[in-house]
Structure 1
Amino acid sequence: MPTTERDHSPKMTAPSNPSQAAPQEQRFLVLFDFDETIINESSDDAVVRALPGQQLPDWLRNSYREGHYNEHMQKVLAYMAEQGVSKDSIHSAVAKIPPTPGLLNLLQFLQSHQQDFELAVVSDANMYFIETWLEHAGVRHLFRKIFTNPGSFDATGRLVLLPFHSHSCSRCPDNMCKQKILREYLAGRQKERGGAAFQRVFYIGDGANDICPTLALGPQDTAFPRRDFPMHKLLLEMQQFKANIVPWLSGEDIVDCLKKIMEER
């Protein structure tokens, strides 16, 4: 399964005693989407600007089929390689993407409470983009897992993208069901934790594909949809939803909510 374990290298003022940085029994799990959640735009759009003309030709843009975005991006990356876009250019384009407002403050807060929060990324982007950005921002060590599509450079210098998994969910694109990822992760972690489940699960996202995983949340859990983005609008339309819904404009809004929850202990 294409996931990565946490890199413990301290970059964002990591705790001085690494052995105390991540105890086994954190009470809360925080799941982050990546595009337009951790970063303030789509990483795919940002990388396209590394092309000589800074945009895709119409024939390639128009080749996209609904539910087959991963397949489309494979074609985009192949085209970029044909146009001579280098690994350095792609790396630079990803590293320059700005974080979403308040996001780094949220991560600083979560780092200062690592004894309580376990963090993971669940994204339909790809491993190369996500790890490049997180490492550049100095926050890679905060995330125990990254669930995303495999992406790596081959011997010819082309960034090769693969689907994450196959599934039978009719709501999700063919390469990724985030609810399947969430359910399997929760079950696996509970087993690893000797049967202890997380007290609460928090899901932070923005897009339509962030709805499916939130359907697995319970009454104690919270969905954080980015305000006025597709996830927020779709949640507002839902008749029945088990979890709490807290829209956010800035990472600071999420910090405020998490502080209140921690005070309830």
Structure 2
Amino acid sequence: MKRCCEGVGLPCLFKGVGMASSQPPKYLLIFDFDETIINENSDDSIIRAAPGQALPEHIRQTFCEGFYNEYMQRVLTYMGDQGVKMGDFKTVYENIPLSPGMPDLFQFLSKNHEVFEIILISDANMFGIECNLRAAGFYSLFRKIFSNPSSFDKRGYFTLGPYHSHKCLDCPANMCKRKILTEYLAERAQEEVEFERVFYVGDGANDFCPSVTLTSADIAFPRKGYPMHRMTQEMENKQPGAFQATVVPWESATEVTRYLQEVLKKC
């Protein structure tokens, strides 16, 4: 029996009958980036490269809820006008600290890379994520990174685009992580890659959207006290049992490491 992968559930996550017992179990582990892998919001962090490390009021007043990507496009244009170059952005991204316990979690995953398939889904941008993860030494952990496209144009301006369009009413206009995750799982299922369980590590409201599609076999790791955590609590209060995944809040990623270590012991 397979789980639906068209927006309400996830593809089959069980091990096929007759598979060689010598094969290790395979888990899918999904990470968010801002305030999950790193301990800051990288969009806020890059303002440190702006003149006076601040934005003028007329730029800040253009922010509109649900259209943060478009707002950041205007921010980056302003910073380009002020002469901020690729090297300035790169330096900021490379120096954003990882969240507490995250280096230890990544070291653990490096040692158990044959068990976990790891992807990253983030509403930040590809350039910033790559700079940070390469500097930290963990870029190679990730099989795939899904984030907003970014590059530097002929003027040397940092440019940002939307990831995709979607019909989800709960997510920002430029990205629905549920859509990305369900499409990824469907693609992997077509490639005959089956996951026993899915683990999702995040913090924001846009991480709650994909996590509601997880099943009772799966684990959601919301950062304690952040929107994803509050939203899982609110759903459980209003609709007990509606959020199917086991919820394991964390303050330090060391707690995630411990949980995954226990999972592996039971294999």
> TM-score, normalised on structure 1?
0.89
**CA distance in 2: counterparts of 1:203 and 1:62, whole angstroms:** 34
Change (3 A) 1:90 1:26: farther
Partner of 2:214: 217
Partner of 1:89: 88
Q: CA deviation at 1:264?
A: 1.8
Partner of 1:230: 227
Confirm whether residue 43 of structure 1 aligns to residue 46 of structure 2: no
CA contact (8 A) 1:169 1:177 kept: yes
**CA distance in 2: counterparts of 1:25 and 1:181, whole angstroms:** 26
Partner of 1:19: none
Q: CA deviation at 1:53?
A: 1.1
CA contact (8 A) 1:26 1:118 kept: no
SS at match of 1:173: coil
Partner of 2:180: 181
CA contact (8 A) 2:199 2:219 kept: yes
Partner of 1:145: 144
Q: CA deviation at 1:26?
A: 5.7
Partner of 1:20: none
Q: CA deviation at 1:228?
A: 0.6
**CA distance in 1: counterparts of 2:144 and 2:170, whole angstroms:** 24
Percentage of pairs with the same residue: 51
Deviations 1:169-225 (CA, angstroms, capped at 9, x unpaired): 011111000000000001111111x2x420000100011111101011111101100
**CA distance in 1: counterparts of 2:209 and 2:245, whole angstroms:** 13
Deviations 1:238-257 (CA, angstroms, capped at 9, x unpaired): 02201010000111100111
SS at match of 1:168: coil
Matches of residues 1-265 of structure 1 in structure 2 within 5 Å?
27-192=26-191, 194=192, 196-238=193-235, 239=239, 240-265=242-267
Aligned residue pairs, count: 240
Q: CA deviation at 1:261?
A: 1.2
**CA distance in 2: counterparts of 1:228 and 1:44, whole angstroms:** 21
Letter in 1 for 2:249: P
Q: CA deviation at 1:139?
A: 0.7
CA contact (8 A) 2:122 2:147 kept: yes
Instruction: List structure 1 segments (4+ residues) > 4 angstroms apart after TM superposition.
Output: none
Q: CA deviation at 1:59?
A: 1.2
**CA distance in 2: counterparts of 1:168 and 1:146, whole angstroms:** 22
Deviations 1:4-54 (CA, angstroms, capped at 9, x unpaired): xxxxxxxxxxxxxxxxxxxx9761011000000000001111101111110
Gaps of 5+ in 2: 1-22
Q: Please give the root-mean-square deviation of Cα atoms over the aligned residues, in Å.
A: 1.2
Q: CA deviation at 1:62?
A: 1.2
**CA distance in 2: counterparts of 1:164 and 1:78, whole angstroms:** 18
> TM-score, normalised on structure 2?
0.88
